[in-house]
Copies of this chain bind each other. A is one copy, B any other.
Amino acid sequence: MRASGELAELARKVLPRAAYEFYAAGSDEEISVGEAAAAWRGRRLLPRVLRDVSSVETGVDLLGTRLASPVLAGPTAFHRMAHDEGETATAAGVAAAGSLLVLSSRATRHPEDVAAVAGPWWYQVYWLRDAEITRRQVDRAVAAGARALVLTVDAPYVPPRATSGLPLPLPEDDELCRSVGIGTRLPGWEQDPSLGLDAIGRLHRMSGLPVLVKGVLRADDARACVAAGAAGLIVSNHGGRQLDRAVSSADALPAVAAAVGTEVPVLVDGGIRTGTDVLVALALGARAVLLGRPVVWSLALGGAAGVTTLLDSYRAQLATSMALAGCARLADIDGELLYGGP
């Protein structure tokens, strides 16, 4: 498995500088983005021995969908900045790995085109000031076959990033790109900062789809979202791109998972860079994880095939780490695997 730092470094060489920096950047002083990975790597494991690990099963059911492993492709914006084919290449790569894509509402390919080559996919959505735009986005995603919606709730405003503005290489006169906010800031496309818990139910009724809430870091928020109808939670600090100094998702996860129990699945993203990180995340209470930047780097480096290789390698290393930790099935992974507890 290619080390994560190496992957980013290789991608930096093939991407236009502005594109690389757009993806790599965190907000403000880049504290949260800088420490995300270490929070997973810092945990130590207490492997079990003399368990039958002659076959290791990484498959998982997530909201009714069977996936090859609990490693998903999380929502990231503007894939045509990373690769000419953009999100269709990502989707094809994810499908080949038996995984699931969370398509960003800031995608630079039409959802119908993505759906045509995708396996199972969910659609990520911001609730915009012009709610009619949101409704149209959701309707279109539903029609195209999205199996669930992911409502991002940690971005009422966009804070200063280490890099300003959006990079050049995207076609600014492309109608789609404009529609997702590239090059120009269209009125109404800003996120609605007055959004409340009721958005979860409204989105569910609007779409008929299960709604996962992305960006939860607190136990009380987690419980409130579930009570408001969330079908799942994604523990996330938005890749360190929203509130800088937000706790790492690795540190936030245990309390959220404990608060939610098994009622709905708790997913997590942020700084997961190896299959062993996935094992740690599951031991801390996650049902699955999402990869952000690694998918973009792999897309940039190898297109659809690069994305498949990435997800396959995570799955393989997760399987090896599970076996060495004495876990034949995901259900064998629990907090007792962690030295010092979850």
Q: Interface on A for B, CB 8 Å cutoff?
A: 1, 3, 28-29, 31, 41, 43-54, 153-154, 156-157, 159-160, 192-197, 199, 213, 215-218, 220-221, 224-225, 242-248, 251-252, 274, 276, 280, 317, 320-321, 323-325, 336, 339
Q: Give the residues in chain B near A49, CB-CB below 8 Å.
A: 153-154, 213, 215-218, 221
Q: Which of B52, B156, B216 touches A53 (beta carbons < 8 Å)?
A: B156
Is there contact, CB below 8 Å, between B160 and A199? no
Shortest Cβ distance from residue A201 to the other chain B in the assembled complex, whole angstroms: 12
**Contact status of A154 and B52, CB under 8 A, knowing A245-B41, A274-B29:** no
**Contact status of A196 and B246, CB under 8 A, knowing A320-B157, A324-B157:** no
Question: CA A317 – CA B51 in complex, angstroms?
Answer: 40
Q: Which of B3, B29, B248 touches A29 (beta carbons < 8 Å)?
A: B3
Q: Give the residues in chain B near A324, CB-CB below 8 Å.
A: 154, 156-157, 159, 242-243, 246
- Interface SS, A side: loop
Q: Give the residues in chain B near A323, CB-CB below 8 Å.
A: 156-157, 193
Question: CA A321 – CA B252 in complex, angstroms?
Answer: 19
Is there contact, CB below 8 Å, between A44 and B247? yes
Is there contact, CB below 8 Å, between B3 and A276? no
Q: Give the residues in chain B near A224, CB-CB below 8 Å.
A: 50
- A-B residue pairs, 5 tightest by C-beta: A243-B324, A54-B194, A49-B153, A44-B247, A247-B339
Shortest Cβ distance from residue A216 to the other chain B in the assembled complex, whole angstroms: 6
Shortest Cβ distance from residue A185 to the other chain B in the assembled complex, whole angstroms: 17
Q: Which residue of B lies closest to A31 (CB)?
A: B41
Shortest Cβ distance from residue A165 to the other chain B in the assembled complex, whole angstroms: 17
Q: Which of B197, B242, B251 touches A339 (beta carbons < 8 Å)?
A: B251
Q: Which residue of B lies closest to A127 (CB)?
A: B50
Q: Give the residues in chain B near A52, CB-CB below 8 Å.
A: 193-196
Q: Give the residues in chain B near A320, CB-CB below 8 Å.
A: 157, 159-160
Shortest Cβ distance from residue A113 to the other chain B in the assembled complex, whole angstroms: 32
Question: CA A86 – CA B76 in complex, angstroms?
Answer: 50
Question: CA A194 – CA B49 in complex, angstroms?
Answer: 10
20 of the cross-chain contacts (CB-CB < 8 Å) are A28-B276, A29-B274, A31-B41, A43-B245, A44-B246, A45-B246, A46-B247, A47-B154, A49-B221, A50-B195, A51-B196, A53-B157, A53-B194, A156-B323, A156-B324, A159-B320, A160-B320, A220-B336, A243-B276, A243-B321
Question: CA A224 – CA B231 in complex, angstroms?
Answer: 40
